Amino acid sequence: MPLNHQILLDNRPQGAASASNFKLVSSPTPDLQEGQVLVRHHFLSLDPYMRGRMNDSKSYAAPQALGEVMQGGTAGEVIESRSPRFKPGDKVVGMGGWQEFSVVNAETPAAMRKVDTTHVPLSHYLGAVGMPGVTAWYGLVKIIEPQAGQTLVVSAATGAVGSAFAALAKARGCRVVGIAGGPDKCQYATAELGFDACIDYKLHTDAGSLSKAIAQACPAGVDGYFENVGGMVMDAVMLRMNAFGRIALCGMIAGYDGKPMPMSYPTLILVNRLKVQGFIVSEHMEVWPEALKELGTLVGTGKLRPRESVAQGLAAAPEAFLGLLKGKNFGKQLVKLI
């Protein structure tokens, strides 16, 4: 069995996360038992939610255990199998973690699924046609419930979730406005992702200034908002929400370092009778087949052209992850392991 390189959570962050929170180790891969398969990971997914799990605090999921392999989505290939469900050569997606190989109990429901790479590249199953894409689908379809002609806004617009959100919303006849960091990302949003407009939040130092820019891009106000960031960005959008607007609250990356993140205008929830709903996509597995089918079609037909930032090698994962938290990635952040 091959030697496996792994990255563990060595200690918890005190404030901002750093590379010193992680530890690179190697260990032999255990022999397979009946019903198990050995997967060689080709790609590792890096996602903002991982930062919250590094803290030892109450959340929707248990904290990442110290001294254990960092959790994370993976896409790879079965290289050995003792299960009739999988055979060597199968391309699979699962939660293999920050390591080069994983041993998976194939009989465990939803532990791993086969994917078809004929029309969709393997890496996209960790982004547009994976958890981030389904996240965008659920927030849009089940919470925002868009109607043709409405104006929708999404923060972190050029990331894996935001780019899928744009394609899904445009397919439903909506006007879609993104919020992203930097002119290059905004240009990509409008030129390639189909956004009607994109606002560079880095040009604004407070919610009032950003809100004025949103008003210019959304002259009819905002009917639905998909929130990935929180803080100043959420305050700015709240000021432009229409009556009976809907906010799908997916991420609060501005607060992942543990600092308090008060809401400046909570009265607007009452005044405008807003629906604000947080959600965790893994709690809604019943929608995944429908969502993945639509997302796969969008990618396969070229209507969704997701961009990827790819770090090379497992050792590069910590710095790539820290860069993701600071918005240095352009599109879905991956680590290529083979």
pLDDT in tens, 143-158: 999 999 999 999 999 9
Specify the pLDDT at position 106: 92
Specify the pLDDT at position 139: 98
- Domain match, 96 and 175 both: no
pLDDT digits (tens, 9 = 90+) for 177-195: 999 999 999 999 999 999 9
CA–CA separation, 292 and 285 (whole Å): 11
Q: How does residue 202 score in pLDDT terms, banded at 50, 70 and 90?
A: very high
Specify the pLDDT at position 52: 86
CATH number of the domain enclosing 224: 3.40.50.720
Specify the pLDDT at position 59: 72
Q: Please give the distance of CA 153 from its chain centroid, rounded to a whole number.
A: 17
- Lowest mean pLDDT: which of 206-210, 216-220, 300-304, 309-313? 300-304
Phi, psi of 55 (to 5 degrees): -85, 150
CA–CA separation, 181 and 229 (whole Å): 12
- Domain match, 147 and 57 both: no
H helical segments located in the chain: 49-53, 131-138, 160-170, 183-191, 207-217, 231-238, 267-271, 288-300, 317-325
Task: Assess if residue 155 is contained within a domain.
Answer: yes
> What are the CA-CA distances from residue 137 to residues 89, 141, 190, 201 (Å)?
30, 6, 20, 24
pLDDT digits (tens, 9 = 90+) for 243-291: 999 999 998 887 777 777 889 999 999 999 999 999 999 899 999 999 9
- Domain match, 95 and 143 both: no
CA atoms within a 13 Å half-sphere pointing along the CA-CB vector of 98: 25
CA atoms within a 13 Å half-sphere pointing along the CA-CB vector of 123: 20
- Domain match, 101 and 171 both: no
- Domain match, 50 and 14 both: yes
Specify the pLDDT at position 15: 86
- The pTM score is 0.90
Q: Which amino acid, 104? A: V
Task: Assess if residue 157 is contained within a domain.
Answer: yes
Task: Assess if residue 102 is contained within a domain.
Answer: yes
Specify the pLDDT at position 73: 96
| Virtual torsion, Cα 152, 156, 160, 166, nearest 10 deg | 20
Mean pLDDT, range 42-59, rounded to an integer: 89
CA–CA separation, 228 and 248 (whole Å): 9
Q: Which residues pair with 71 in a beta bridge?
A: none
Specify the pLDDT at position 316: 98
- Domain match, 160 and 217 both: yes
- Does residue 308 contact residue 132 with C-beta atoms inside 8 Å? no
Q: How does residue 331 score in pLDDT terms, banded at 50, 70 and 90?
A: confident
CA dihedral sign of residues 100, 90, 29, 74: positive
Specify the pLDDT at position 255: 76
> What are the CA-CA distances from residue 19 to residues 24, 28, 43, 274, 336 (Å)?
11, 24, 20, 40, 19
- In sequence order, the 6+-apart residues with CB closer than 8 A to the CB of 218 are 151, 153, 175, 177, 240
Specify the pLDDT at position 46: 96
- Domain match, 61 and 142 both: no
CA–CA separation, 320 and 57 (whole Å): 24
Q: Please give the distance of CA 148 from its chain centroid, rounded to a whole number.
A: 25
pLDDT at 142 over 80: yes
CA atoms within a 13 Å half-sphere pointing along the CA-CB vector of 204: 19
Q: How does residue 327 score in pLDDT terms, banded at 50, 70 and 90?
A: confident
pLDDT at 235 over 80: yes
Q: Which residues pair with 311 in a beta bridge?
A: 335
Q: Which amino acid, 207? A: A
- Domain match, 159 and 275 both: yes
Task: Assess if residue 72 is contained within a domain.
Answer: yes
Specify the pLDDT at position 119: 87
- State the total domains in the chain: 2
- Domain match, 72 and 202 both: no
Of 241, 267, 282, the last residue of a domain is 282
CA-nearest of 288, 253, 73 to 156 is 253
Phi, psi of 212 (to 5 degrees): -65, -40
Specify the pLDDT at position 101: 98
Task: Assess if residue 118 is contained within a domain.
Answer: yes
Specify the pLDDT at position 203: 97
Specify the pLDDT at position 228: 92
Task: Assess if residue 297 is contained within a domain.
Answer: no
- Domain match, 140 and 175 both: yes
- Domain match, 261 and 180 both: yes
- Domain housing 67: 3-127+306-336
CATH number of the domain enclosing 320: 3.90.180.10
Task: Assess if residue 294 is contained within a domain.
Answer: no
- Domain match, 214 and 315 both: no
Q: How does residue 216 score in pLDDT terms, banded at 50, 70 and 90?
A: very high
Mean pLDDT, range 233-252, rounded to an integer: 96
Mean per-residue pLDDT of the chain: 94
Look up residue 140 and give its DSSP letter: I
Task: Assess if residue 325 is contained within a domain.
Answer: yes
